[in-house]
């Protein structure tokens, strides 16, 4: 069996994947900062709903079935703030109702 050397084969792929992950993380964080600047109320609602910045940041990027496979950012680009807010407020109300509040 031949040993892989750095810069070749899987080692190169692993390094590329690490670099992609670092780049993605930087973009995800920058995206949420832009959200806070341009749509502060939405950013605050997302933060309150998730209670954790990292979870809020990740959720904004994730494709959601309820949004037709689009992310919350996709909706914002299309100017559809209401769908995001309605979804989060509806989920929060459902959680309160389930808790008996």
pTM: 0.78
Q: Is residue 38 part of a domain?
A: yes
Q: Is residue 57 part of a domain?
A: yes
Q: Is residue 46 part of a domain?
A: yes
Instruction: Report pLDDT for 78.
Output: 96
Give Cα 2 to chain centroid, integer Å.
41
State the total domains in the chain.
1
Domain of 41, in residue numbers: 9-98
Which residue has 């689009």 as its token pair?
70
Quick check: helix, strand or coil at residue 4?
coil
Q: Is residue 55 part of a domain?
A: yes
Q: Is residue 53 part of a domain?
A: yes
Give dist(CA 83, CA 14) in Å, integer: 38
pLDDT category at 98 given cuts 50, 70, 90 is: low
Q: What is the mean pLDDT of residues 53-57?
A: 97
pLDDT category at 8 given cuts 50, 70, 90 is: confident
């Amino acid at each position: 069996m031949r040993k892989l050397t750095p810069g070749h084969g899987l080692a190169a792929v692993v390094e590329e994947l690490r670099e992609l992950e670092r780049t993605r993380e930087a973009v995800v964080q920058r995206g949420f900062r832009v959200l806070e600047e341009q749509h502060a109320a939405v950013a605050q609602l997302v933060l309150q709903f998730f209670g954790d910045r990292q979870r809020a940041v990740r959720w904004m990027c994730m494709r959601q079935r309820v949004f037709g496979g689009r992310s919350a950012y996709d909706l914002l680009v299309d100017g559809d703030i209401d769908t995001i807010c309605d979804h989060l407020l509806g989920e929060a109300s459902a959680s309160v109702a389930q808790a008996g509040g």
